[in-house]
Chains A and B, each alone.
Chain A
Amino acid sequence: MKKEILAKLPYGKSFLFVDELLHVDENGVTGTYTYLENLPFYEGHFKDRPVTPAVILTETMAQIGLVCLGIYLLKNDTSQNVAIAMTSNAIDFLKPVYPGEQVTVTSEKVYFRFNKLSCKVKMENAAGEMVCKGNISGMLISKENG
């Protein structure tokens, strides 16, 4: 199931921020990603002082915490494709993430109703320290329905 979820992710290589899913069930998901040192945004964020941008941390939390969980929750859906849009997020950023770091994202479902999935998501670094946390919501609509 975990491999099937990864295979269904709609992202191209340059914008995929999921390496591995460690656990997934009806109520949540845990997954990891390592920010390789050669990722293109480090060249500009910041000049001579690379730090992972907060938008990328948010995207990573959304891809693992919201999209992977959403694909799992829609697993019994017959359609192959799921249209996804993040609709809101509120994240606190507590520590920087530097090039080469591996992070673990854990997400808990708050609700999944009327195609809207809302999750409480946190990201931890390899030392187990909380990097960022918050809530992310999005609409997941199987393409058959519109």
Chain B
Amino acid sequence: MNKEEIIEALKTIVEPYSEEVLALAHIDENTDFINDLKINSANLVDIVLDIEEKFNIEIDNDSMAKMLTVKATTEIIAQKLEAHAG
């Protein structure tokens, strides 16, 4: 799965948790979950749980703490997928 595909899947996961229609429409690597999409910490947990299920990976506390932007999240997902494959 390449970066664009991960971002696309991420967008689908994030959508139900944000009311920021404009920010959702323009979601890209620089999108910040808290500042741009106004997602709170409780919903961020649900997003991470959805990511685990969707990509069949496990997110640890350290990774979770970094997952605040689309870019950081995509990188972590890619790393975990790679580790999984290897």
Contacts and interface: CB of A to CB of B under 8 A. Distances in A.
A114 B64 contact: yes
Q: Chain A interface: which size bin?
A: 10 to 19
A66 interface: no
Nearest to B61: A114
A115 interface: yes
Contacts of B61: 114
B67 to A, nearest CB: 10
Given A114-B61, A114-B64, A87 B40 contact: yes
Most buried by B among A88, A111, A114, A139: A114
Given A114-B61, A114-B64, A88 B42 contact: yes
Contacts of B64: 114
B42 A87 contact: yes
A117 to B, nearest CB: 10
B45 interface: yes
A139 B49 contact: no
Contacts of A114: 44-45, 48, 61, 64
Contacts of A138: 42
A139 B43 CA distance: 10
B49 A111 contact: yes
A137 interface: yes
Interface of B: 40-46, 48-49, 61, 64
6 contacts: A87-B40, A113-B45, A114-B44, A114-B48, A116-B42, A116-B45
